[in-house]
């Protein structure tokens, strides 16, 4: 079963690693990097899923598939600097070299499995309205203004499309405790937004984006 998974991941690496190989001067260097990335990605899939689709269980683990590379790089740095408190990810991130981070970020960006969904269907319509229009009376801007009309993100702004429902709920609910622990970073823009959303509004937005592809 493990060999089958390795072959599957190897096939998925073809496009991203072709991109990565261009950045290196010798074929042998690119080959060694590819093998290292394959090993690291195989390790990542234990938690984030074989296609990086995330995990919907007792402890929600985020989808990385299709994520913006710059956002992923920023978050790995935040784990290393303990700006995001997560002992597991801090241990994973602190051993990654810059070239490895670039390759992994490129790999995940090119995956696009079906979203897990999981959000309550009856909240999707409300979530769509908030995402597209915001909540003017609460001074909450439209999510689409930063994350894009299809929630695919851009640069340092993360993709939300297809993100695991409970992961989004947990992040927005606990934003002050989960982000920017030691110093402000780009995520600071979300602090007033998360604070202004009610729990039911957070769940509605999370339900909506959980089904986007």
| pLDDT tens by residue, 165-186 | 999 999 999 998 888 777 777 7
Measured on CA atoms in the order 110, 112, 117, 123, is the torsion positive or negative?
positive
How far apart (Å, rounded) are the C-alpha atoms in residues 137 and 168?
23
Q: What is the pLDDT of residue 3?
A: 43
The residues near 126 (Cβ < 8 Å, ≥ 6 apart) are 201, 204, 208
How high is the mean pLDDT of the chain?
Answer: 86
In the chain, what are the domain boundaries? 121-210
Average of per-residue pLDDT across 197-206: 98
pLDDT category of residue 187 using cuts at 50, 70 and 90? confident
> What is the pTM for the complete model shown?
0.84
Q: What is the pLDDT of residue 64?
A: 97
Q: Environment class of residue 148 by beta-carbon count within 10 Å: exposed (0-12), middle (13-18) or buried (19+)? A: middle
Q: State the fold for domain 121-210.
A: Cytochrome Bc1 Complex; Chain D, domain 2 (1.10.760)
Q: What is the pLDDT of residue 177?
A: 84
The tens digit of pLDDT for each residue in 23-36 reads 445 667 667 777 88
Position of tokens 């079906």? 114
The tens digit of pLDDT for each residue in 113-158 reads 999 988 999 999 999 999 999 999 999 999 999 999 999 999 999 9
């Amino acid at each position: 079963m493990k060999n089958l998974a390795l072959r599957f991941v190897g096939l998925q690496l073809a496009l991203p690693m072709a991109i990565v190989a261009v950045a290196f001067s010798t074929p042998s260097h690119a080959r060694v990097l590819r093998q290292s990335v394959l090993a690291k990605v195989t390790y990542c899939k234990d938690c984030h899923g074989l296609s990086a689709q995330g995990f919907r269980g007792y402890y929600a683990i985020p989808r990385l598939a299709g994520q913006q590379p710059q956002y992923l790089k920023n978050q790995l740095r935040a784990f290393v600097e303990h700006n995001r408190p997560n002992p597991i990810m801090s241990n994973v991130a602190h051993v990654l070299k810059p070239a490895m981070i670039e390759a992994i970020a490129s790999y995940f960006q090119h995956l696009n499995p079906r979203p897990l969904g999981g959000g309550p269907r009856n909240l999707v319509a409300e979530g769509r309205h908030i995402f597209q229009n915001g909540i003017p009376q609460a001074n909450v801007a439209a999510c689409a203004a930063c994350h894009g009309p299809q929630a695919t993100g851009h640069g340092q702004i993360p993709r939300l499309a297809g993100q695991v429902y409970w992961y989004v709920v947990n992040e927005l609910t606990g934003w002050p405790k989960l982000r920017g622990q030691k110093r402000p970073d780009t995520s600071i823009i979300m602090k007033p937004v998360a604070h202004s959303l009610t729990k039911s509004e957070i769940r509605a937005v999370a339900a909506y984006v959980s089904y986007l592809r």
